[in-house]
Amino acid sequence: MSRSAHPAGPRHADVLPEGRSAAPADDLNALDPKVWARTVGRDADGVVTVGGLPVTRLAEEYGTPAYILDEADFRERARAWRTAFGADADVFYAGKAFLSRAVVRWLHEEGLNLDVCSGGELATALSAGMPAERIAFHGNNKSPEEIERAVRAGVGRIVLDSFQEIVRVAHIAESLGRRQRVQIRITVGVEAHTHEFIATAHDDQKFGIPLAGGQAAEAVRRALKLDGLEVIGIHSHIGSQIFDMSGFEVAAHRVVGLLKDIRDEHGVELPEIDLGGGLGIAYTSDDDPREPHEIAKALTEIVTRECEAARLATPRISVEPGRAIVGPTAFTLYEVGTIKPLDGLRTYVSVDGGMSDNIRTALYDAEYSVALVSRTSDAEPMLVRVVGKHCESGDIVVKDAFLPGDLAPGDLVAVPATGAYCRSMASNYNHVLRPPVVSVRDGAARVVVRRETEEDLLRLDVG
Ligand SMILES: *Cc1c(COP(=O)(O)O)cnc(C)c1O
């Protein structure tokens, strides 16, 4: 995926990416429910609406670019995960996908737990009233200050990621007179991406402690001896944007194998197993994600079967979806600024944002779709590349898409499925101001993260 040539490379203009059909959709005005938030539609004038509000009005009121977040959709998806996994499992929303205080409150109200992986995310969670015991603290290099804050706050679990951290967390907890609940993150030699998984002998990546060579078993051995720690389980996270469950199957098999070894060696059955996140969403109409209830059924069956074979009581399962909850619930609203047809190649459509609000295309070669949303059009489709306003030729938002041939400056276009890893990865490159996140619900809109201002920029620059 990310190993292919950069889209802005020297030959970038002459080929369509493999596997992507070069044909436009039958109706460019249609909005595929797979990629758009659930309350999105078009009104009688052809203007796209969300949460009952036309995007033209949202643009007028809040400006562009803006992330528009469908609160009802977010809550429904969160609830669907919660319901699918039921009372015997926990759903931790991965805050790194997108975190704001409004989102924390919605998650709290819908009965979800929350993953954080920095002091900033922890502060956001606590300031919005997420009970500390429902927070899990992640990361491969938590600072001693972050660990101390998490322990003091009383987070439900810290996920230990290295041998050093086992000792570090134990020491801090003990010095505070606490016994911290922890999971140990292991790497099981499986890496999953989209439609396949790769079984690797060695885990060449920075997260977790390898199962290989008995390292994970040794980590558990050490952690169990430390008074400051209560080891509650094993954690495994195998990848991102995954559609195929077979990677989870291999991971669960190996995690349960470790639980069995722990039981045999130490006489303890660890009560929890966390299978991480990484479930895929539809970025384009070509993607077919699974529903939460299918995922819950598959994961529960896998773990139950593996535990029966190992004669272990089935542990409490937790999962950590980020993208699968928030990704589909937002779109980015842009205004078209310039349109540059390059003869025989394609047409470049420049919008008023770019890689500062969506780095995923440049970073991962991610695919998105785009639609004209301020009106409908019957004009012939034209092949476009939607680009941003940054001083960088890799500043691409949508590599290849069709938009109506009568597209004009001032039109509004929107890129769906930008709820995850867009605002949370946004930058100030070129001193471009980060867009607001506007949530809509039942005909009302509300800014949940405001637009950055030049004063914000200058406040950090102390001169
Ligand atoms: C990133 C991450 C997640 C969430 O991944 P998604 O692809 O957004 O579901 C869950 N758990 C851990 C440990 C992660 O690092």
Query: In angstroms, what is the span from residue 68 Cα to ligand 1's centroid?
Result: 22
Q: Does position 271 have pLDDT exceeding 90, yes or no? A: yes
Domains of the chain: 41-70+328-459 (2.40.37.10), 71-325 (3.20.20.10)
- The response to whether 191 counts as a known ligand-binding position is no
Alpha-carbon distance 150 to 122, whole Å? 8
Q: How many Cβ atoms from other residues are within 10 Å of residue 300's Cβ?
A: 17
- Residues comprising the chain, all counted: 463
Of residues 157 and 8, more confidence is placed in 157
Q: Which amino acid is located at 117 in the chain? A: C
CA–CA dist 252, 222 (Å, integer): 23
Tens of pLDDT, residue by residue over 191-225, are 887 777 777 666 788 999 999 999 999 999 999 99
Q: What is the pLDDT of residue 195?
A: 72
The residue-averaged pLDDT of 89-106 equals: 98
**Ligand 1 atom closest to 324 (CA):** 9
Query: Ligand 1 centroid vs 444 CA: distance in angstroms?
Result: 31
The reply, when asked if residue 364 is annotated as ligand binding, is yes
pTM strictly above 0.85: yes
The strand ranges marked E within 100-203 are 113-116, 135-137, 157-160, 180-187, 190-194, 196-199
Cβ–ligand 1 distance for 274 under 6 Å, the answer: no
User: Mean pLDDT, the chain, as a whole number?
Assistant: 94
Euclidean distance between the first and the last CA atom of the chain, given in angstroms as a whole number: 42
391 is catalytic: yes
368 is known to lie in a ligand binding site:
no
